[in-house]
Amino acid sequence: MRWFAALAALLVLAVIGARHLPPEWDPRAPLDLTAPPNAMTALKLRWVRMSPKACFAAFETSHIAVTREPDRPSEVGCGLENAVRLPSTLWMSPTQPVVTCRLAAAWVLYERNTLVPAGVVGISHLGAQACRNVNRDRSGRLSEHATANALDIAAFRFRGLELRVARDWARDDAPLRGLRDGACRWFGAVLGPDYNAAHADHFHLDMGRARICR
Ligand SMILES: [Zn+2]
């Protein structure tokens, strides 16, 4: 539905002209990751996903400093390109992981619009880059982890409380399902315990081409 709204907005813009639009509604303006999301946000995030230039422009516009990692070519498809240290205001364990710029952009939107409003103050993760296939299979497709385009979250820390995906997913009173659903708004694929046994202890968030929310 968001897509229809964004397309309708674009159509209206084409008719009335986009000259005097505020930047958050102007499709040509870089995505401001700190602005309240609107119907244009999903469209701009899609552009950020396709274009590293648009991604770094988004961080610049948002005045969020990112530490860029040097590109690292790989002959087996496990290279690092346009990667940054995850710019997060949350406490992170073990450290701030290195991820693609597009994953970092989706993360900032997730953090600001889902995690912080839900009371999350910290994250435990299982890492981002790992040179391996999907589900650690011996053959098959390379995982989005191979290029640091995916991040696995094992636990969310609130004040005085930690919710672990492995232990607390089945609890009805735990807001883990809301955090999973919230992620689906920003990331391409979001896989958790409902997806398969390989994801019983974490949420997998990636910015690959597949769109799954389970
Ligand atoms: Zn994963």
Measured in angstroms, how far is the CA atom of residue 8 from the centroid of ligand 1?
34
b (16+ CB within 10 A) / e for 158-196? eeeeebbbeebbeeeebbbeebbebbbbbbbbbbbbebe
User: Would you give the end-to-end CA distance of the chain in angstroms?
Assistant: 19
Q: Which pTM was predicted? A: 0.90
Residue 69 φ/ψ, nearest 5 degrees: -95, 145
Contacts 24+ apart (CB under 8 A), 173-176: 175/118
DSSP 35: S
Measured in angstroms, how far is the CA atom of residue 100 from the centroid of ligand 1?
14
Written as tens digits, the pLDDT of the chain (214 aa) is 566 776 776 776 666 665 678 888 998 899 999 999 999 999 999 999 999 999 999 999 999 999 999 999 999 999 999 999 999 999 999 999 999 999 999 999 999 999 999 999 999 999 999 999 988 888 888 999 999 999 999 999 999 999 999 999 999 877 999 999 999 999 999 999 999 999 999 999 999 999 999 9
The domains of the chain, with CATH numbers, are 1-65 (no CATH), 80-214 (3.30.1380)
Measured in angstroms, how far is the CA atom of residue 212 from the centroid of ligand 1?
13
